[in-house]
Amino acid sequence: MNAVRSTDRSPHSRRVAGFTLVELLIAFTILITLSAVLAPVLMPSPARTLRETGSQITTTLRETRRLARAAQTRKRFLIDTRSKQFAVDGTGAWRALPDDVDVMLTTGRSLLTGDSRGGIDFFPDGSSTGGRVSLSMADRSLDVDIEWLTGRIRVKEAAR
């Protein structure tokens, strides 16, 4: 019976634990590639923040319009430009805008409820009083337009 003893030091009989240089280089290459691809997605940018804020405003405006049609009553979208908050009137749930986003409301004089607060009304037939919510951050601007006749809501990048 021939047995290989652990003290046998021939080059073919021993195994070395660890990684080869090629394996380490491949692992580092994968890590560097992933970090280069994911870094722009994970880091905050003014353009992305502005788009997300515009999306939140647009969604709330559309929800206000939907509620007006469903309840067959007038509903008001409210926005406070000083405290940078917005809500659907009567829901009590105010949502905050990012601190670095500037907001401006263009609406009818009768819909202004203070120095910095105003609204846009939606009616049971889907129409609205119309208006615009302008958002700006760094060197970018975004306009959320509300058509008065149809209540249609459009988002567009604005020239600064």
CATH for 46-158, options being 3.20.20.10, 3.60.10.10, 3.55.40.10, 3.20.20.70: 3.55.40.10
Q: Which of 7-16, 44-53, 66-75 has the highest mean pLDDT?
A: 66-75
What pLDDT, on a 0 to 100 scale, did the predictor assign at position 3?
A: 56
Contacts (Cβ under 8 Å, ≥6 apart) of 159: 141
The domain limits of the chain are 46-158
Burial of 108 (C-beta count, 10 Å sphere; 0-12/13-18/19+): middle
The yes-or-no verdict on residue 19 having pLDDT over 80 is yes
Contacts (Cβ under 8 Å, ≥6 apart) of 67: 75, 88, 122
Say if residues 25 and 118 touch (Cβ distance below 8 Å): no
Say if residues 101 and 142 touch (Cβ distance below 8 Å): no
Report the alpha-carbon distance of residue 63 to residue 69 in Å, rounded.
10
Collapsing DSSP states into helix, strand and coil, what is residue 59? helix
Q: What's the average model confidence in pLDDT over 14-37?
A: 86
Q: What is the pLDDT of residues 115-160, one digit of tens each?
A: 899 999 999 999 999 999 999 998 899 999 999 999 999 999 876 6
